[in-house]
A = this chain, B = another copy of it.
Amino acid sequence: MSDSLERIGRVRMHGGWIDTYTHASEACDCTMRFGVFLPPQAQEGPVPSLYWLSGLTCTEENFLQKSGAQRWASELGVALVAPDTSPRGLDLPGEHDDWDFGSGAGFYVDATRRPWSQHYRMHDYVVRELPALIEGRLPLLPRRSVSGHSMGGHGAIVAALRNPGHFQSVSAFAPICAPTRCPWGEKAFSNYLGDDRESWKAYDSCELLREAESAPALLVDQGTEDGFLAEQLKPELLEEVCRERGHDLELRLREGYDHSYFFVASFFEEHLRFHAGALAT
């Protein structure tokens, strides 16, 4: 299976390389695509990685084109791994009808409801299959952190909370903090996971934090002029549960910033320095 790994693009940037790969994914039962930025240090030996989980409608490209992240990855010697946001190349009923569900909107869950359950297993893909595929074959240490934006911010926090010790650190930009309690999440979870709302809690940051005895320190940035803030993102629920349960949360409200990659780019350097510190220890 892993023999199918094929590099389909290579561009030089900031002294390193942006490589694009395709491979046959077992988790998603389709061909998947991802991008990876290898900093110059990777030419000398394997380096740790930051996995970046993108938001609704994105592919493996958006982050690597718009975040400016490579500048800091190059300085700090951290690889950037950017998976796609859903299975591709399929044609499931309704899969391409909405921008907030189906293709481009995998929500980083392992679907249990048909027809999604055969392919939409993005949690398994980004946490297990992708690292196992590339660490060792590419110059990447088995040492990783995770971050993401919006749907991917939700994905990053959930991936870290469900898999203790798998990531050295976790952060998020404008995450969907409580998908069981917002329209985007309710639409996605009812389709991917079915009508039993109890089962949804396994992919809800706030619910996981409510049950957790301990949790990794969370670094979250959120723009105050984000048009999705009140209805979809709800960082106040994250704040509430962390306060109640004594979990370490640094939530930074950024005056005047919106939901775009202009916001992500503005604060990515700080996040990567946070992760680089954790990856070095």
Q: A22 contacts the other chain (Cβ, under 8 Å)? A: no
Residues on B with C-beta less than 8 A from A18 are: 262
Chain A contact residue count (CB 8 A cutoff): 23
Q: A165 contacts the other chain (Cβ, under 8 Å)? A: no
- Docked CA distance A172–B149 (Å): 34
A257:B65 contact, CB within 8 angstroms: no
Picked from B12, B13, B261, B265, the residue with its CB within 8 Å of the CB of A14 is: B265
Residues on B with C-beta less than 8 A from A216 are: none
Residues on B with C-beta less than 8 A from A263 are: 12-13
**Contacts A68-B68, A71-B68; A262 near B13 (Cβ below 8 A):** yes
Residues on B with C-beta less than 8 A from A260 are: 11
Picked from B15, B225, B269, the residue with its CB within 8 Å of the CB of A266 is: B15
What is the distance, in angstroms, from A182's C-beta to the closest C-beta of chain B?
24
Picked from B11, B223, B261, the residue with its CB within 8 Å of the CB of A262 is: B11
Bitwise, A58-84 to B at CB < 8 A (1) or not (0) is 000000011010110000000000000
B12:A225 contact, CB within 8 angstroms: yes
Describe A's contact surface by its main secondary structure: mixed
Task: Please provide the chain A residues from 89 to 142 with a CB less than 8 Å away from any CB of chain B in the complex.
Answer: none
Bitwise, A36-76 to B at CB < 8 A (1) or not (0) is 00000000000000000000000000000110101100000
**Contacts A66-B65, A68-B68; A14 near B266 (Cβ below 8 A):** yes
- Docked CA distance A272–B225 (Å): 30
- Docked CA distance A4–B239 (Å): 46
Residues on B with C-beta less than 8 A from A256 are: 12
Q: A258 contacts the other chain (Cβ, under 8 Å)? A: yes
Task: Please provide the chain A residues from 250 to 268 with a CB less than 8 Å away from any CB of chain B in the complex.
Answer: 256-258, 260-263, 265-266
A12:B71 contact, CB within 8 angstroms: no
Residues on B with C-beta less than 8 A from A14 are: 265-266
What is the distance, in angstroms, from A238's C-beta to the closest C-beta of chain B?
22
Using CB atoms, name the residue of chain B closest to A255: B12
Residues on B with C-beta less than 8 A from A12 are: 223, 225, 256-258, 262-263, 266
- Contacts A/B (CB < 8 Å), 7 sampled: A12-B223, A12-B262, A12-B263, A13-B263, A15-B266, A65-B261, A70-B262
